[in-house]
Amino acid sequence: MTERTEATALVEISSLYPPPRSRKAVRKSRKPSTKLRYNVSQHTVKDEADAPKETLSNPPDLENSITYECCICGDETQFTAGVAACASHFLCNECTVNSYEMALGDIQAFPARCCTPLARRLVEHLLSAALRTAYSLRAQEYYTPRTLRVYCSREMCGVFIHPSRFDNTSAFATVARCECGAKTCVGCKQVWKGASHCCVDSASKPAWLPPYSPTCRIKQCPGCGLWIEHKDACNHMTCCYCSQQFCFICLLPWEFTEGFHESEGCPSYGDPSEGYDDEGYERTERGLHRDTGFSRAGRNR
């Protein structure tokens, strides 16, 4: 029989009485568990890739199965061979390029458009590099205000001069310098003659224009100063450059009530029945001038 030491007795006593727990541990042991445990093996979800798929032997080509009629040439064109010009019209690729080429040749056809201007980002891939460059230069000319739109005064040149090439160092007038070396006055659009230059009155009729007559009716647009010939139809005019609408007789804007110009003595068609005198004034009581729209007293009515 072994002797029991004092240390051995203390160990046996401590095993009978475990150490006391903290209050937090006691509360935690009494609190029921709220965690829900699921058996993942019993709730498996199939991947969509594992599901059987319906396959078609020959899927239809929806883009090329539908054709559209080009609003210019009238040809039936596949969707991938054309451009939706607007909400109502469709253009084939060939007519789209032709529209851009026409806009380069005639500024009245600029910008290339259907009902509205064509979005260039949609047709950029159809245009050649040379056409894109020429169209960008034409756009600079078109969006320059009419009063600042200057062309080289040299007869063999005549190109558009961008406002960035204007020289304001002269104390007399602004000079536009062309790449060919010629200088043009921005004010009168004539050849720049240096310090002795005197601007020609832009309102004066150029010498090369024929005299006014009932068969050759030419007047200056009151909005931009462009000389316009009236060939037929009524006297309600719209300038092709500045879009100013005016009466061709009195040169006042057309933004009045309906029948205003007729009630004030302006005929709907042709010149006044009384005609004009030798100085260009109407042979009527109001006596408006043919080119300025003002009477001898300086009144426009």
- What string of DSSP letters covers 69-128? E-TTT--EEEGGGEE--SSS--EEHHHHHHHHHHHHH-GGGPSPBSSSB--HHHHGGGS-
| Domain 66-143, architecture per CATH | 2-Layer Sandwich (3.30)
Are the CB atoms for 83 and 96 separated by under 8 Å? yes
pTM of the complete model: 0.47
Predicted confidence pLDDT, tens digits, the chain (301 residues):
445 555 555 555 555 555 666 666 656 666 555 444 444 444 444 444 454 554 545 555 555 567 788 877 888 878 778 887 777 788 888 888 888 888 888 777 888 888 788 888 888 888 889 998 988 888 888 888 777 788 888 888 888 888 888 887 665 668 889 989 898 888 777 888 877 776 655 556 677 788 888 888 888 888 777 788 888 888 888 887 677 888 888 888 887 666 677 777 888 888 888 888 888 888 888 888 888 778 777 776 6
Residue span(s) of the chain under CATH 3.30.40 come to 66-143
